[in-house]
Amino acid sequence: KGKRAFIAGVADDNGYGWAIAKSLAAAGAEILVGTWVPALNIFESSLRRGKFDESRKLQDGSLMEIAKVYPLDAVYDNPEDVPEDVKANKRYAGATNWTVQEVAESVKKDFGTIDILVHSLANGPEVSKPLSETSRKGYLAALSASSYSYISLLKHFLPIINPDGSAISLTYIASERIIPGYGGGMSSAKAALESDTRVLAFEAGRKKRIRVNTISAGPLGSRAAKAIGFIDMMIDYSFTNAPLQKELHAEEVGNTAAFLSSPLASAITGAVIYVDNGLNAMGVGV
Ligand code: NAI
């Protein structure tokens, strides 16, 4: 029977979320996505107008279908959490039911259950500030959007994830090695995400035999990464210094997510899986 996946963090065809959606679709999964509320209109209208048709193409020539796009803001767990100014903001006012709890309820109502949950989102308002110059507010915002959002998604979706299901997030090596420029508490947020992956693997594994893993991905020129500012340098650095001197394709991360969500990975949980051309294994650049 075909599997169903919910992928949080798809708002264009450049990022890892999109690539994961394609790999899962190619493997036969039904695709649902969660799109950040302020990006919803442009994403849906681009989809409708065929702007993504070229990148919807799968290996067999067919186009990836997205069964449904849900507006989502993973910083808010339920309507009581949403501040008045956000409620009134015109980028939010047009959409409904976009808190994590409401999205899980909507997916349950529309489809019943899912098999695969993917968290492919992050946000750190002070990412361009060094950690030692980051404000408390900026640090907590990075953790809220990039780490707690995963706990919240898993918490609210767990009741509708089928046994033997899989949850996956995306992390970055800045959690464990110094990457100057990845500031604002984003390195801390990724460290939390990786640690939480282990604890959540235990809890979801014991409760429902659901596997929880995270992919530590190499640099990709996504929209989010371009906003940080140093992505081209990181891509060049990786190309020069990694064991595999080749471009890293988003598809390679997508394929790993498909593998991790398949029975081929039935004993893998609580793991950080590197998909980075091996750069993490280097001690010095040469
Ligand atoms: P992206 O821009 O395609 O994805 C980030 C998504 O998060 C966007 O669609 C954005 O709308 C969404 N988002 C932000 N705040 C949100 C919120 N509060 N609620 C719901 N959605 C929200 O960029 P990318 O780079 O593909 O990011 C996906 C994941 O991959 C992130 O966790 C990122 O940290 C991780 N990653 C990216 C690397 C890179 O070099 N691009 C390297 C390693 C990890």
* pLDDT tens digits for range 80-133: 999 999 999 999 989 999 999 999 999 999 999 999 999 999 999 999 999 999
**Ligand 1, atom 26: nearest CA belongs to which residue?**
15
Residues in the chain: 286
Whole-angstrom distance, CA of residue 52 vs CA of residue 57: 9
* pLDDT tens digits for range 5-40: 999 999 999 999 999 999 999 999 999 999 999 999
Both tokens assigned to 126: 């002070």
How far, in Å, from the CA of 279 to the mean position of ligand 1?
21
Ligand 1, CB within 6 Å, residue ranges: 9-11, 14-17, 36, 39, 72-75, 120-123, 145, 170-172, 217, 219-220, 222-225
The answer to whether 177 touches 131, Cβ cutoff 8 Å, is: no
Both tokens assigned to 136: 């408390």
How far, in Å, from the CA of 72 to the mean position of ligand 1?
13
At residue 285, the pLDDT reads: 85
**Ligand 1, atom 3: nearest CA belongs to which residue?**
15
Whole-angstrom distance, CA of residue 170 vs CA of residue 17: 9
**Ligand 1, atom 5: nearest CA belongs to which residue?**
121
Give CA 173 to chain center in angstroms: 15
**Neighbour count for residue 119 (Cβ, 10 Å):** 27
List all residues 6 or more positions away from 149 whose beta carbon is below 8 Å from its beta carbon: 8, 74, 75, 100, 119, 121
Q: For residue 225, which atom of ligand 1 is closest to its CA? A: 41
**pTM for this prediction:** 0.98
* Distance separating the N- and C-terminal Cα atoms of the chain: 48
Residues marked active site are found at 172, 182
Whole-angstrom distance, CA of residue 164 vs CA of residue 254: 20
To test the pocket of ligand 1, the residue of 36, 46, 100, 121 to mutate (highest count of ligand atoms within 8 Å of its CB) is: 121
ipTM of the complex: 0.99
Place of tokens 């299901």: 165
Q: For residue 75, which atom of ligand 1 is closest to its CA? A: 18
**Ligand 1, atom 29: nearest CA belongs to which residue?**
120
Whole-angstrom distance, CA of residue 115 vs CA of residue 157: 10
Q: Sign of the CA dihedral 38, 44, 50, 52? A: positive
